[in-house]
């Protein structure tokens, strides 16, 4: 018999083998990266809203406290989305006829609510309670980021389970004194761990990693 | 691959966010959904407003403030206004105003067959989601029954009628009211000679006032009463004995000996919840005393109460009045008629009973059954009188029901009037007489003679179909009204939500009849009570009444009564025209009709929760059957076959029999019940509905075809023929023997007195099973539960409550047949002793929360694990559905979603869901969690106040509903907690502990208190 | 080294014994760059051409050890380090439960090493090889046995080597062009 | 020297009918693959198999889209046909590895003409088995949660669960069998490459042969690797069914919770495996006229192995019954009584008949060499072993600890559909293999010829 294959097939076959391996690795890591990327997690992706409400302006410039609008954050699992009325409390005097605020005024006239785009969304089977986190000294900014620097709201963290676990396993790394919970400027001290351990004791913070802590 | 949302999104887990709890997560989203707008409808300014602008407390209060004024205004605006905004006063244990994500609780009452039971309703953002008992209400004491739990499903039932129909065509309220007015005009001329109003039992003072008002306007009009579930014999009996229709009340806590003449007072009584509590309180052995009351039951069918009796005498219904006479004679009631001899066995039994009664004069109670003829009631009164019980254990008050009448007679009269065309205008308020009334009368047929009739009801049912007009009724959770409890205590009923389907209350209809079509029921009720209360502080009183859930001191005060001599009535035979032409061949038997334990007379036929609830003793679901004793079955050559799929935990093929009474026939499956009296059969009503809705239509068979007005509850002779056909019945537990396993441990108080440890000591697991592993230390909370088998009466309240609290799905008969029902807690029923009169045990079985949980060990993905508090967590969203855990669960308490059982489509059911519990999707395992959502809420609340959770602060749904407090939950690390103390009682034992599962749920053994004279020899 | 005109000389035999004999003599004659081809493994042939031990067993052993340790550590890490959680009251490190997976992984990795190890050592895949240029070599996978002395061998000298092959009983000697 | 097949006299039976040379064998076997003409019976058998595969695909689609409830599973019997079939198929798989690996280590020459398709059978059986754990999941699309991988949930499999052991055992088993099988194929692929005349086959077989040229040094390493793989596969094959038996032995269900399960499952596996080899070999040798290679000697040996493992299984049954009585455990006792006289009793007695009684016929020497007798017995054992798994899985579950939860289980049309579907898949794959690859290891047959010559001289 003559040769079936050209000498080059040797190289080709080896290249295919090792190439295949490399390709596999690339694909897997690629998928993992995509999964962690803003494309999936929406981290840092500013969402458009019916009214271009700027936390940067209201929190950063005007210095309005979180709780003025998110009234139930200390009492309830749900922080509360302010009713149109809350907006109108000020905007009947301030910018009473700015076109930008027309949707708000319309909603107030018609009683039809403004349809905000949800930014922080957890799957239905995750039960998160704002009030207890706030009570135990987890700052708004810890999860929601520097809202006072967000013209439009975006998601600061992935909200993936392992992200939650980071804190639930080692709260001392993130906890802050209660008086600073609603502060945006608060900077974690250099000795956060020392402080953290102190607060963990003081606030009786447990490391809750049981499934039923969040899933029921 | 983030958090299990990917393909599952298509298959439910994702959708469930839309269904389950999204509602309060973002109100904007909520108000956005088209579906929700439909749901809330245009009928309700307040809620619409509340929802569209995330009602904050300022707005909430303004709404409340404005409501009264609004009521007036909108009243004037249109003849048929949407119900205006009205004030609601939240209950104490809730934040001062609505906080998004936090439930509110409101007090009202559920009217069941006319009588009220106080309830607290949990409301999430204006959506009632759960009904609990009102601890301060005399008829509830904080407990509920299955029907009450399921009533919230009825509220959201998509099959409820949504439109006014005239001769089947959709009409409007305006059209109806004008048509009504035309008729009424013509009636005015004749002083309402042709006007008839048909109601069920009425206890509502306001409704009574309205009726009287109407009868004043139309002096010749007539008010008839007919209740499918009751017969009002009690009042007739009282009339016999006292000359007045007194209400009879019992104080069972005072009674050492209770004799029930077919009285199913633990289940079928307006006071059943209270009676159950009082009855069990006297049997709670691990409560210091080792004394207990003793219950003698004389009945024909095997009732729930009978299954809890210390001694049962099962005799044919026709024999009961006779036996009552004999008994009466023995307890020295003057009886003229001489007593026929009775069998030596009965003689012995009766002898012991009489001795017991004599020994407990003034501390005993004779309770006649609701469905026993008046004479039995009268005799019972006489006996109580003779035994000196009156004023001690038995009390009499004025009747709670307004104008008590013999329903049979009242209805007969109505039909006669229809026949004679005397009733031209017929207004039917609630009820479903076209179905519930005996077929012999052909009520439907006669209706055509009247020239105007209207039916007000929740559903467009059999009666609506034959009436000229059908108008949708408002559900009790949508209504302003008032109702009296068994002892007369009044509750002002307040709506939790404005009518979803634009229903009206009976008040509004009667107001229209009285010529005030525009009056809303809030006004009517409010004004009535303003009229009653002359004091200037009415508003405060009104507020308190709403807030507390009842009007303090409105209970009727006991009357001291004098019984007539028995000789005056004791001979009057109960009317029982044995018309059935006693045929010898085929064998003719006596027949007993009883309301179904779950769906009563069919009024709850479309309630999936109740249909799927295993009936207390038979454990049947979705069907009724012809119940009979084993002996009778053998005599008729009837048998059964265990199905090949499902089997004893699902499918039983029962022989179908043909029943004939007075030439009217129907067919139904025969079901053999140990302990049923021989030579008689029991048939439960409420089935065979033709227009119940998509759930309840065409289930079982209709016994009303056979009934006559004379034999409403007991028939003399019914022919029962075997047909040869077989019918698959869905039975969740057919195997009633313990196979020598120590599942329910039982003994007698006698044994307990001798040696309190007698049950534990005979057990194998005295030596604790060893383990190689160190085992876990639970240093925080350690949740545990203790279930008192001795206190469990098997009423199913816990099962229904669990289902309601945990968003349990309804799987349907086909799936139950396959053994796939989804109840997280079940009540196992075991028999012991001879089949004609067995001992019965009821054992609630939830998840045992084993410390060494076998299920966790075998789960490949860690979907079920142990929490720091020692809970056996079930993580639905992690579950891949290998079902290995269920195989390895010795208690078989795990339930699996073989299909997409939870209804993610029907919009109207979504607001019903408990937002704190995940709605399970297809392919995941689920099980009892000790209501972990309540645990977590309590823990968070405690943490925020920097304290520990108090004992009793957490009540799982089952414990909360239990009428007898048989279930106690708590922290077993706390030596002071009730659960810990119960677990240290000598009667405390664990289920299958020899497997070293170390269950956190343990049981208290059952103790019976038999009469030695009957027991031995 | 310089490109040679031919790859080597190939002699054909009709029985394993003949080939074995020939191989021995060739080796004895000082040829080192030789290879023998047979349709089935012939005992002692490799030794005959001076190939004594193989590294395959060592590779497999390494694979086995990696699988064993890696397997157990994986489970230990999951159960004790990464997310320790109470499963049915068992200790985090319930090592008896970890034995089966450890064992399976040992076998798995070892087998993979064995398979790919032998391919790598044999420099396979190598679809093209000079010996295939010989027309009759296709019988090497049927019933013929071949001995090839490669041109790179120190003692290789076309004429003499051809004669040598004929002497040792070659049924036919062919040039293998490279 | 060669005795007639008909006359008895055990070892006198040849492993290879005389008169074969390297060439004749090579041509005979490779011709089956390289021939242009596909025999009619091939089309028929493959056709049947493929039709059933379509049934399988339909059932799987329905199961995934509607729900696992289409199976008859319920509470308390949450595992049904799916697991029964899984264990059955895995068991069948075992014969292949056993023949190729263990007999190799034991230097049993008679393995050589049957090991190739026995190994193929293993692969296909395991492939069929692998389907079941997947489709009987409530949410099959999350099957990957059973493997450890870097997930954003931060949650990993629970390694205490026998099901995870299963995942690793079965996947390892499949991989190793595949490697073993392919390694064995390489020289034969080279043979086919050299025999093939048309271009495509030459190219494909050439690629697969990876340029194998039978170099002495290659052979040397090759044999070493082959031996080592055999050495690894042997404990593996034992471990796999042990792990499968753990699925039951580790649980506390009466009738599952038993220490005898591992040995008795492994024996049962080999038992059913050999039964399946016979079921396949007997028709094939006839259809392809391979009586010369797969001789009565082979059949006889396999029959004897069946008999031996069959006896072990019998001992297993005996022990279960004895322990149920001896332990005095209430639940165990009831379980055994229920197994024998309960609603499923008839199954138990049929399996005793098929697995224990009928195979006793193999004691009779004459029957050991009667292909059709062996075939019938093999079929009986196949059925019996399926029933055994049914009795273990279903009958143990349907009445366990709580009488209140007792129920009955019966398969639905989907249960049966998937079962016959996998049988179809098995047949289809097998015939594809027969058509495309040498079903008998050619180079090992050459060795055999060589040795036989050595012996006969």
| Residues D351 and D314 sit within 8 Å (Cβ to Cβ) | no
Per-residue model confidence (pLDDT) at position B769: 60
Q: Give the residue with greater pLDDT, C3 vs B307.
A: B307
Per-residue model confidence (pLDDT) at position D203: 93
| Residues D313 and D271 sit within 8 Å (Cβ to Cβ) | yes
The pTM of this model reads: 0.90
| Residues B457 and B473 sit within 8 Å (Cβ to Cβ) | yes
In this prediction, residue D385 has a pLDDT band, given cuts at 50, 70 and 90, of very high
Q: Using alpha carbons, select from B674, B568, B683, B535 the residue that is nearest to residue B617.
A: B674
Per-residue model confidence as pLDDT tens digits over B391-425: 999 999 999 988 888 888 899 999 999 988 888 89
Of D79, D160, D403, the CB nearest to B737: D403
| Residues B297 and B323 sit within 8 Å (Cβ to Cβ) | no
| Residues B272 and B260 sit within 8 Å (Cβ to Cβ) | no
Tokens of B103: 């439930």
Tokens of D299: 């059949």
What integer best gives the mean pLDDT of chain B? 84
Chain D contact for A29, CB < 8 A?
no
Beta bridge partners of C34: C149
Residue of chain A whose Cα is closest to the Cα of B864: A211
Per-residue pLDDT for B315 more than 60? yes
- The position carrying tokens 């904080």 is B142
- The position carrying tokens 């003229």 is B336
Best of C92, C122, C123, C149 to disrupt the D interface (most D CBs within 10 Å) is C122
Per-residue model confidence (pLDDT) at position A178: 93
Per-residue model confidence as pLDDT tens digits over B822-864: 999 999 999 988 888 899 999 999 999 999 999 999 999 999 9
Per-residue model confidence (pLDDT) at position A2: 66
- The bridge status of strand B311-314 relative to strand B294-299 is parallel
| Residues C122 and D221 sit within 8 Å (Cβ to Cβ) | yes
For residue D20, the SS3 value is coil
Q: How far is B925 from chain C (nearest CA, A)?
A: 17
Q: Hey, are the CB atoms on B894 and D75 less than 8 Å from each other?
A: yes
- The position carrying tokens 């009002």 is B232
What number is the average pLDDT over the span C171-176? Answer: 92
Per-residue model confidence (pLDDT) at position B90: 35
ω into B747 cis (within 30 of 0): no
In this prediction, residue D164 has a pLDDT band, given cuts at 50, 70 and 90, of very high
Per-residue model confidence (pLDDT) at position B710: 84
Per-residue model confidence (pLDDT) at position B98: 63
What integer best gives the mean pLDDT of chain A? 89
Measured between beta carbons, the chain A residues lying within 8 angstroms of C128 are 3, 5-10
In this prediction, residue B286 has a pLDDT band, given cuts at 50, 70 and 90, of low
What number is the average pLDDT over the span B744-768? Answer: 76
What CA–CA distance (Å, rounded) separates B155 from B604?
Answer: 11
Q: Hey, are the CB atoms on C128 and A165 less than 8 Å from each other?
A: no
Element holding B591 (H helix, E strand): strand B588-594
Per-residue model confidence (pLDDT) at position A111: 74
Chain C contact for B780, CB < 8 A?
no
Q: What's the distance, Cα to Cα, between the start and end of chain D in Å?
A: 11
In this prediction, residue B775 has a pLDDT band, given cuts at 50, 70 and 90, of confident
DSSP B676: P
What CA–CA distance (Å, rounded) separates A78 from A65?
Answer: 17
Per-residue model confidence (pLDDT) at position D223: 93
Tokens of B925: 């395992």
Tokens of A54: 């700027």
What CA–CA distance (Å, rounded) separates B39 from B305?
Answer: 41
What CA–CA distance (Å, rounded) separates D306 from D296?
Answer: 15
Lowest mean pLDDT among B60-64, C2-6, D396-400: B60-64
Q: Using alpha carbons, select from B625, B806, B633 the residue that is nearest to residue B729.
A: B625
**Neighbours, chain C (3 or more CB pairs < 8 A):** A, B, D
| Residues B127 and B916 sit within 8 Å (Cβ to Cβ) | no
Per-residue model confidence as pLDDT tens digits over D85-129: 999 999 999 888 888 888 889 888 888 888 998 999 999 999 999
Q: Environment class of residue B872 by beta-carbon count within 10 Å: exposed (0-12), middle (13-18) or buried (19+)?
A: buried
| Residues B312 and B363 sit within 8 Å (Cβ to Cβ) | no
Handedness of CA B480, B481, B483, B489 (dihedral sign): positive
What number is the average pLDDT over the span B68-82? Answer: 29
| Residues C42 and D219 sit within 8 Å (Cβ to Cβ) | yes
Question: Left, alpha or beta for B26 (phi > 0: left; psi -120 to 50: alpha)?
Answer: beta
Per-residue pLDDT for C103 more than 70? yes
Q: Where are the domains of chain A?
A: 8-36, 72-80+119-216
Angle at D167 (CA atoms; ends D162, D173), nearest 5 degrees? 115
Residues 629-658 of B with CB under 8 A from D: 642-651
For residue B582, the SS3 value is coil
| Residues B912 and B156 sit within 8 Å (Cβ to Cβ) | yes
Residues 288-327 of D with CB under 8 A from B: none
DSSP B566: G
Give the count of beta carbons closer than 10 Å to the beta carbon of residue A148: 21
Per-residue model confidence as pLDDT tens digits over D300-352: 999 999 999 999 999 999 999 999 999 888 999 999 999 999 999 999 999 99
What CA–CA distance (Å, rounded) separates B742 from D329?
Answer: 13
Per-residue pLDDT for A112 more than 60? yes
Per-residue pLDDT for B898 more than 90? yes
Tokens of B454: 């209207």
Tokens of A16: 């295919």
| Residues B106 and B4 sit within 8 Å (Cβ to Cβ) | no
Residues 861-880 of B with CB under 8 A from C: 862, 865-868
Per-residue pLDDT for A130 more than 80? yes
What CA–CA distance (Å, rounded) separates D181 from D123?
Answer: 9
What number is the average pLDDT over the span B30-56? Answer: 34
- The position carrying tokens 């053999």 is B672
What CA–CA distance (Å, rounded) separates D262 from D285?
Answer: 34
Measured between beta carbons, the chain B residues lying within 8 angstroms of D334 are 739
What integer best gives the mean pLDDT of chain D? 91
Per-residue model confidence (pLDDT) at position A51: 86
What CA–CA distance (Å, rounded) separates D240 from B611?
Answer: 48
- The bridge status of strand B490-493 relative to strand B481-484 is antiparallel
What CA–CA distance (Å, rounded) separates B433 from B450?
Answer: 15
Per-residue pLDDT for D455 more than 60? yes
What CA–CA distance (Å, rounded) separates B331 from B14?
Answer: 69
What CA–CA distance (Å, rounded) separates C51 from C66?
Answer: 29
What CA–CA distance (Å, rounded) separates B845 from B799?
Answer: 10
Q: What's the distance, Cα to Cα, between the start and end of chain C in Å?
A: 14
Q: Using alpha carbons, select from B1016, B1017, B810 the residue that is nearest to residue B900.
A: B810
State the SS3 of B677-723: CCCEEEEECCCCCCCCCCCCCCCCCCHHHCCCCCCCCEEEEEEEEEE
Question: Left, alpha or beta for C50 (phi > 0: left; psi -120 to 50: alpha)?
Answer: left
Q: Which of A75-79, B573-577, B695-699, B797-801 shows the highest mean pLDDT?
A: B797-801
Per-residue model confidence (pLDDT) at position B580: 39
What CA–CA distance (Å, rounded) separates D192 from B901?
Answer: 57
| Residues D164 and B859 sit within 8 Å (Cβ to Cβ) | no
- The position carrying tokens 């929360």 is B849
Q: Hey, are the CB atoms on A83 and B55 less than 8 Å from each other?
A: yes
Chain D contact for B455, CB < 8 A?
no
Q: Hey, are the CB atoms on B856 and C87 less than 8 Å from each other?
A: yes
Per-residue model confidence (pLDDT) at position B49: 31
What CA–CA distance (Å, rounded) separates A50 from A112?
Answer: 13
Per-residue pLDDT for B95 more than 50? no
Q: Which residues neighbour D35 within 8 Å (Cβ) at sequence distance 6 or greater?
A: none
- The bridge status of strand B626-628 relative to strand B490-493 is unpaired
Q: How far is B63 from chain A (nearest CA, A)?
A: 14
In this prediction, residue B21 has a pLDDT band, given cuts at 50, 70 and 90, of very low
Q: How far is A1 from chain D (nearest CA, A)?
A: 8
Per-residue model confidence (pLDDT) at position B86: 36
In this prediction, residue A193 has a pLDDT band, given cuts at 50, 70 and 90, of very high
DSSP B34: H
In this prediction, residue B3 has a pLDDT band, given cuts at 50, 70 and 90, of very low
Per-residue model confidence (pLDDT) at position B768: 60
- The position carrying tokens 């995750």 is A126
What number is the average pLDDT over the span B679-691? Answer: 93
DSSP B556: P
Chain B contact for C87, CB < 8 A?
yes
What number is the average pLDDT over the span A4-9? Answer: 90
| Residues B235 and B401 sit within 8 Å (Cβ to Cβ) | yes
Assign 3-state DSSP to chain C and report helix, strand, coil percentages, each to 5. 50, 15, 35
For residue B223, the SS3 value is strand
Per-residue model confidence as pLDDT tens digits over B218-260: 999 999 999 877 767 888 889 888 988 999 999 999 999 999 9
Chain C contact for B828, CB < 8 A?
no
Per-residue model confidence as pLDDT tens digits over D34-78: 988 899 999 999 999 999 999 999 999 999 999 999 999 999 999
Percent of chain A with pLDDT over 70: 99
Per-residue pLDDT for A154 more than 80? yes
What number is the average pLDDT over the span D271-290? Answer: 92
Per-residue model confidence as pLDDT tens digits over B615-646: 999 999 999 999 999 999 999 999 999 999 99
DSSP D56: H
What CA–CA distance (Å, rounded) separates D282 from D271?
Answer: 17
What number is the average pLDDT over the span B687-691? Answer: 93
Q: Using alpha carbons, select from B891, B892, B883, B731 the residue that is nearest to residue B816.
A: B731
Per-residue model confidence as pLDDT tens digits over C43-53: 999 999 988 88
Handedness of CA B970, B974, B977, B983 (dihedral sign): positive
Task: Tell me the Cα Rg of chain B.
Answer: 28
């Amino acid at each position: 018999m003559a040769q079936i294959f050209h000498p080059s097939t040797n190289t080709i076959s080896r290249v295919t083998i090792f190439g295949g391996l490399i390709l596999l690795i690339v694909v897997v890591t690629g998928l993992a990266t995509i999964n962690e990327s803003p494309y999936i997690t929406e981290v840092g992706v500013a969402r458009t809203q019916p009214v271009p409400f700027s936390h940067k302006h209201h929190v950063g410039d005007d210095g309005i406290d979180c709780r003025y609008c998110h009234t139930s954050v200390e009492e309830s699992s749900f922080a509360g989305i302010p009713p149109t009325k809350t907006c109108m409390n000020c905007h009947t005097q301030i910018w009473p006829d700015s076109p930008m605020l027309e949707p708000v005024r319309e909603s107030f006239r018609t009683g039809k609510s403004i349809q905000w785009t949800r930014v922080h969304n957890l799957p239905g089977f995750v039960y998160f309670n704002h009030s207890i986190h706030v009570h135990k000294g987890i700052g708004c900014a810890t999860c929601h980021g520097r809202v006072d620097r967000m013209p439009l709201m975006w998601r600061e963290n992935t909200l993936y389970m392992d992200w939650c676990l980071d804190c639930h396993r080692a709260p001392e790394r993130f906890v802050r004194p209660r008086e600073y919970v609603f502060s945006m400027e608060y900077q974690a001290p250099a000795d956060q761990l020392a402080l953290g351990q102190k607060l963990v004791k003081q606030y009786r913070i447990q490391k809750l990693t049981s499934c039923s802590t969040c899933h029921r | 691959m983030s958090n299990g949302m990917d393909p599952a999104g298509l298959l439910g887990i994702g959708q469930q966010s839309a269904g389950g709890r999204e509602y309060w997560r973002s109100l904007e989203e909520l108000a956005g959904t088209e579906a929700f707008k439909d749901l809330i409808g245009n009928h309700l300014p307040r809620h619409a407003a509340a929802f569209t602008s995330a009602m904050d407390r300022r707005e909430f209060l303004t709404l409340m403030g404005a409501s009264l004024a609004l009521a007036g205004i909108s009243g004037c605006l249109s003849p048929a206004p949407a119900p205006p905004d009205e004030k609601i006063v939240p209950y104490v244990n809730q934040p001062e105003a609505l906080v998004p994500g936090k439930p509110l609780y409101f007090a009202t009452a559920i009217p069941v067959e006319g009588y009220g039971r106080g309830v607290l309703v949990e409301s999430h953002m204006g959506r009632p989601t759960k009904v609990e008992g009102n601890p301060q209400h005399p008829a509830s004491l904080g407990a509920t029954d299955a029907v009450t739990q399921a009533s919230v499903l009825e509220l959201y039932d998509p099959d409820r009628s949504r439109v006014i129909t005239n001769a089947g065509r959709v009409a409007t309220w305006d059209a109806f009211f004008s048509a009504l007015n035309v008729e009424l005009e013509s009636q005015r001329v004749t002083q309402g000679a042709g006007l008839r109003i048909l109601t069920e039992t009425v206890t509502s003072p306001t409704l009574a006032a309205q009726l009287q008002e109407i009868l004043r306007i139309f002096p010749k009009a007539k008010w008839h009463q007919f209740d499918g579930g009751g017969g009002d014999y009690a009042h007739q009996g009282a009339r016999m004995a006292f000359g007045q229709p007194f209400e009879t009340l019992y104080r069972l806590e005072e009674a050492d000996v209770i004799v029930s003449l077919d009285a199913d007072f633990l289940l079928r009584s307006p006071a059943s919840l209270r009676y159950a509590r009082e009855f069990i309180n006297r049997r709670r052995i691990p409560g210091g005393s080792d004394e207990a009351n003793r219950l003698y039951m004389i009945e024909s069918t095997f009732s729930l109460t009978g299954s809890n009796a210390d001694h049962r005498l099962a005799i044919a219904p026709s024999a009961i009045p006779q036996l009552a006479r004999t008994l009466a004679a023995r307890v020295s009631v003057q009886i003229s008629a001489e007593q026929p001899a009775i069998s030596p066995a009965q003689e012995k039994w009766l002898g012991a009973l009489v001795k017991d009664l004599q020994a407990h004069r003034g501390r005993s109670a004779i309770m006649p059954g609701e469905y026993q003829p008046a004479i039995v009631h009268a005799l019972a009164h006489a006996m109580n009188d003779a035994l000196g019980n009156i004023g001690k254990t038995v009390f009499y008050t004025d009747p709670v029901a307004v104008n008590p009448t013999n329903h049979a007679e009242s209805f007969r009269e109505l039909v006669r009037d229809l026949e004679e065309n005397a009733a031209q205008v017929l207004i039917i308020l609630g009820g479903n007489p076209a179905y519930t009334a005996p077929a012999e009368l052909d009520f439907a047929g006669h209706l055509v003679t009247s020239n105007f009739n209207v039916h007000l009801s929740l559903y467009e049912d059999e009666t609506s179909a034959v009436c000229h007009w059908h108008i949708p009724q408002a559900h009790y959770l949508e209504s302003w009204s008032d109702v009296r409890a068994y002892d007369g205590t009044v509750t002002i009923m307040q709506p939790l939500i404005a009518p979803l389907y634009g229903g009206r209350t009976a008040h509004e209809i009667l107001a229209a009849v009285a010529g005030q079509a525009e009056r809303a029921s809030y006004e009517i009720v409010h004004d009535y009570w303003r009229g009653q209360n002359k004091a200037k502080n009415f508003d405060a009183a009104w507020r308190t009444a709403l807030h507390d859930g009842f009007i303090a001191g409105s209970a009727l005060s006991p009357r001291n009564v004098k019984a007539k001599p028995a000789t005056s009535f004791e001979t009057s035979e109960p009317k029982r025209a044995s018309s059935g032409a006693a045929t010898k061949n085929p064998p003719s038997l006596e027949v007993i009709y009883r309301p179904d334990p779950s769906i009563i007379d069919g009024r709850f036929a479309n309630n999936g929760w109740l249909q799927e609830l295993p009936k207390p003793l038979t454990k049947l679901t979705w069907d009724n059957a012809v119940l009979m004793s084993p002996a009778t079955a053998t005599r008729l050559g009837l048998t059964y076959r265990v199905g090949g799929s499902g089997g004893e935990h699902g499918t039983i093929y029962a022989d179908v029999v043909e029943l004939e009474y007075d030439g009217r026939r129907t067919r139904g499956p025969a079901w053999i019940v140990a302990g049923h009296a021989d030579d008689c059969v029991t048939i439960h009503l409420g089935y065979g509905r033709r227009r119940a809705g998509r759930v309840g239509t065409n289930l079982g068979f209709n016994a009303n075809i056979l009934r006559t007005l004379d034999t409403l509850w007991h028939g003399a002779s019914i022919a029962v023929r075997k047909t040869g056909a077989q019918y698959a019945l869905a039975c969740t537990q057919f195997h009633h023997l313990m196979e020598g396993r120590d599942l329910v441990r039982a003994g007698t108080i006698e044994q307990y007195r001798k040696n309190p440890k007698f049950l534990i000591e005979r057990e194998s697991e005295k030596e604790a099973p060893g383990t190689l592993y160190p085992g876990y230390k639970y240093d925080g909370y350690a949740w545990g539960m203790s279930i008192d088998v001795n206190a469990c009466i098997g009423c199913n309240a816990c099962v229904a409550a669990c289902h309601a609290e945990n968003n349990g799905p309804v799987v349907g008969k086909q799936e139950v047949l396959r053994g796939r029902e989804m109840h997280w807690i079940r009540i196992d029923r075991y028999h012991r002793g001879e089949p004609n009169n067995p001992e019965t045990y009821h054992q609630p079985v939830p998840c045992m929360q084993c410390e060494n949980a076998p299920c966790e060990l075998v789960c490949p993905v860690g979907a079920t694990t142990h929490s720091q508090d020692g809970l056996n967590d079930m993580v639905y969203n992690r579950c891949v559905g290998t079902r290995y855990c269920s195989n390895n669960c010795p208690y078989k308490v795990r339930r699996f979603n073989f299909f997409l059982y939870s209804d993610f489509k029907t919009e109207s059911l979504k607001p019903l869901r408990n937002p704190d519990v995940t709605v399970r999707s297809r392919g995941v395992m689920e099980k009892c969690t000790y209501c972990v959502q309540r645990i977590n809420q309590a823990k968070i609340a405690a943490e925020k106040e920097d304290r520990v959770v108090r004992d009793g602060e957490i009540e799982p749904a089952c414990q909360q509903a239990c009428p007898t407090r048989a279930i106690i939950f708590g922290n077993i690390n706390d030596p002071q907690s009730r659960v810990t103390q119960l677990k240290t009682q000598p009667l405390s034992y664990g289920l299958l502990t020899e497997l070293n599962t170390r269950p956190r749920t343990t049981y208290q053994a059952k103790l019976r208190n038999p009469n030695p004279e009957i027991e031995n020899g | 080294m310089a490109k040679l005109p031919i790859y080597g000389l190939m002699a054909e035999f009709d029985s394993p014994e003949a080939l074995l004999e020939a191989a021995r003599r060739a080796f004895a004659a000082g040829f080192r760059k030789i290879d023998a081809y047979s349709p089935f493994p012939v005992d002692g042939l490799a030794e005959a051409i001076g190939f004594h031990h193989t590294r395959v067993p060592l590779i497999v052993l390494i694979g086995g050890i990696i699988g064993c340790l890696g397997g157990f550590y994986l489970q230990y890490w999951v159960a004790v380090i990464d997310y320790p959680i109470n499963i049915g009251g068992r200790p985090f490190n319930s090592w008896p439960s970890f034995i089966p997976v450890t064992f399976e992984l040992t076998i798995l990795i070892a087998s993979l090493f064995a398979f790919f190890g032998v391919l790598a050592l044999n420099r396979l895949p190598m679809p093209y090889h000079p010996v295939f240029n010989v027309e009759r070599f296709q019988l090497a996978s049927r019933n013929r046995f071949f001995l090839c002395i490669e041109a790179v061998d120190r003692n290789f000298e076309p004429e003499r080597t051809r004669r040598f092959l004929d002497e040792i009983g070659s049924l036919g000697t062919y040039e293998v062009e490279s | 020297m060669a005795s007639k097949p008909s006359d008895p006299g055990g070892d006198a039976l040849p492993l290879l009918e005389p008169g074969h040379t390297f060439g004749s064998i090579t041509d005979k076997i490779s011709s089956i693959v390289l021939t242009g003409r596909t025999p009619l019976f091939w089309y028929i058998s493959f056709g049947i198999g493929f039709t059933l595969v379509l049934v399988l695909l339909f059932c799987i689609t329905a199961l995934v889209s509607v729900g696992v409830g289409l199976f008859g599973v319920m509470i308390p019997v949450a595992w049904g046909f799916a697991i029964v079939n899984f264990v059955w198929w895995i068991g069948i798989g075992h014969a292949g590895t056993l023949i190729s690996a263990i007999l190799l280590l034991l230097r049993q020459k008679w393995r050589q003409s049957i090991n190739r398709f026995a190994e193929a059978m293993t692969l296909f059986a395991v492939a069929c088995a692998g389907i079941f754990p997947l489709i009987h999941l409530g949410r099959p699309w999350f099957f990957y949660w059973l493997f450890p991988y870097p997930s954003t949930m931060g949650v990993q499999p629970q390694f205490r669960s026998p099901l995870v052991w299963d995942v690793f055992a079965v996947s390892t088993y499949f991989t190793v069998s595949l490697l073993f099988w392919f390694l064995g194929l390489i020289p034969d692929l080279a043979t086919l490459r050299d025999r093939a005349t048309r271009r495509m086959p030459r190219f494909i077989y050439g690629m697969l042969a990876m340029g194998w040229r039978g170099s002495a040094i290659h052979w040397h390493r090759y044999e070493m690797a082959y031996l080592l793989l055999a050495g690894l596969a042997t404990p593996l094959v034992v471990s796999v069914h042990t792990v499968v038996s753990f699925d039951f032995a580790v649980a506390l269900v009466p009738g599952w919770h038993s220490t005898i399960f591992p040995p008795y499952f492994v024996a049962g596996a080999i038992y059913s495996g050999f039964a399946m080899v016979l079921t396949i070999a007997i028709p094939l040798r006839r259809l392809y006229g391979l009586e010369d290679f797969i001789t009565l000697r082979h059949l006889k040996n396999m029959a004897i192995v069946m008999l031996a493992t069959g006896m072990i299984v019998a001992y297993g049954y005996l022990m279960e019954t004895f322990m149920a009585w001896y332990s005095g455990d209430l639940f165990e006792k009831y379980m055994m009584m229920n197994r024998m006289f309960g609603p499923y009793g008839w199954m138990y007695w049929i399996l005793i008949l098929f697995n224990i009684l009928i195979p006793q016929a193999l004691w009779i020497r004459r029957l050991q060499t009667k292909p059709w007798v062996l075939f019938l017995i093999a079929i009986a054992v196949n059925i019996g072993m399926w029933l055994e798994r049914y009795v273990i899985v279903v009958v143990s579950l349907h009445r366990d600890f709580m009488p209140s939860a007792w129920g009955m289980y019966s398969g639905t049309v989907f249960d049966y559909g998937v079962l016959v579907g996998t049988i179809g898949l098995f047949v289809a794959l097998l015939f594809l293999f027969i058509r495309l690859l040498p079903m008998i290891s050619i180079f090992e047959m050459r060795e055999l010829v060589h040795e036989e010559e050595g012996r006969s001289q």
